[in-house]
Amino acid sequence: MSEQHRIESVEVTRERVLQRIRDDSRFVLAAHESPDGDALGSLVAMQGLLTALGKDSQMFIAAEDLPLPYEYRFFTLDGLIQAPPPDIAQRTVVFLDCGNIDRNSAIVLQQGRHLLNIDHHHDNTRFGTLDHVVPDASCTAEIVWDLMHGLGVAPTAEVAQALYVGLITDTGRFMYENTGPRAHEMAAELIGAGVDVQAVYRRLYEEMPPAKIALLALALGQMQRFDSGELTLAALSAEDFHEAGAQDSYSEGIIDHLRAVQGTKVAALVRELCGGERSGQRKVSLRSTDDDVDVSQIAREQGGGGHRRAAGFTTTLEVAPLIEFLRGALAEQLHATSNGPATATVA
Ligand code: AMP
Ligand code: MN
Ligand code: MN
Interatomic CA distance for residues 342 and 154, integer angstroms? 55
> Is the distance from CB of 44 to CB of 159 less than 8 angstroms?
yes
Tell me if 285 CB under 6 Å of ligand 1: yes
Give the dihedral of Cα atoms 104, 110, 114, 116; nearest 10 deg. 20
Tell me if 35 CB under 6 Å of ligand 1: no
Distance 150 CA to ligand 3 centre (A): 21
Among the listed residues 267, 270, 273, 307, the one whose alpha carbon sits nearest the alpha carbon of residue 287: 267
Interatomic CA distance for residues 27 and 21, integer angstroms? 9
Distance 200 CA to ligand 3 centre (A): 18
The burial of 124, by beta-carbon neighbours within 10 Å (0-12 exposed, 13-18 middle, 19 or more buried), is given as buried
For residue 139, the ligand closest to its alpha carbon is: 3
Q: Which of 313, 314, 316 for mutating ligand 1's site (highest number of atoms within 8 Å of CB)?
A: 313
pLDDT at 6: 66
Distance 306 CA to ligand 3 centre (A): 9
Tell me if 311 CB under 6 Å of ligand 1: yes
Interatomic CA distance for residues 197 and 86, integer angstroms? 39
For residue 311, the ligand closest to its alpha carbon is: 1
Interatomic CA distance for residues 232 and 225, integer angstroms? 4
Peptide bond into 69 cis (omega under 30): no
> Is the distance from CB of 47 to CB of 165 less than 8 angstroms?
no
pLDDT at 5: 57
Residues with CB under 5 A from ligand 3 (ion): 38, 97, 139-140, 170
Tell me if 166 CB under 6 Å of ligand 1: no
pLDDT at 336: 76
Q: Per-residue pLDDT tens, the chain, 347 aa: give them.
A: 344 456 789 999 999 999 999 999 999 999 999 999 999 999 999 999 999 999 999 999 999 999 999 999 999 999 899 999 999 999 999 999 999 987 776 888 999 999 999 999 999 999 999 999 999 999 999 999 999 999 999 999 999 999 999 999 999 999 999 999 999 999 999 999 999 999 999 999 999 999 999 999 999 999 999 999 999 999 999 999 999 999 999 999 999 999 999 999 999 999 998 766 677 899 999 999 999 999 999 999 999 999 999 999 999 999 999 999 999 999 999 987 544 444 444 44
> Is the distance from CB of 231 to CB of 256 less than 8 angstroms?
no
Condensed to tens digits (0 to 9), the pLDDT of residues 138-171 reads: 999 999 999 999 999 999 999 999 999 999 999 9
pLDDT at 100: 92
Ligand 1 atom closest to the CA of 304, numbered from 1: 20
Among the listed residues 93, 82, 86, 116, the one whose alpha carbon sits nearest the alpha carbon of residue 27: 93
Tell me if 306 CB under 6 Å of ligand 1: yes
Tell me if 138 CB under 6 Å of ligand 1: no
DSSP class of residue 212? Answer: H
pLDDT at 338: 47
Among the listed residues 239, 234, 246, 325, the one whose alpha carbon sits nearest the alpha carbon of residue 285: 234
- Sign of the CA dihedral with 72 first, then 73, 77, and 80 last: positive
pLDDT at 274: 75
Ligand 1 atom closest to the CA of 286, numbered from 1: 2
Ligand 1 atom closest to the CA of 103, numbered from 1: 20
Q: What are phi and psi of 254, to 5 degrees?
A: -60, -40
Among the listed residues 109, 107, 126, 108, the one whose alpha carbon sits nearest the alpha carbon of residue 117: 126
pLDDT at 103: 77
Q: Furthest-apart CA pair in the chain: how many Å? A: 62
The predicted model scores a pTM of 0.93
Interatomic CA distance for residues 172 and 154, integer angstroms? 26
> Is the distance from CB of 269 to CB of 258 less than 8 angstroms?
yes
Distance 35 CA to ligand 2 centre (A): 6
Condensed to tens digits (0 to 9), the pLDDT of residues 171-199 reads: 999 999 999 999 999 999 999 999 999 99
- DSSP for 17-59 reads HHHHHHH--EEEEEE-SS--HHHHHHHHHHHHHHHHTT-EEEE
Ligand 1 atom closest to the CA of 314, numbered from 1: 19
SS3 (DSSP) at 114? strand
Distance 55 CA to ligand 3 centre (A): 25
- Sign of the CA dihedral with 188 first, then 193, 199, and 205 last: negative
Distance 260 CA to ligand 2 centre (A): 21
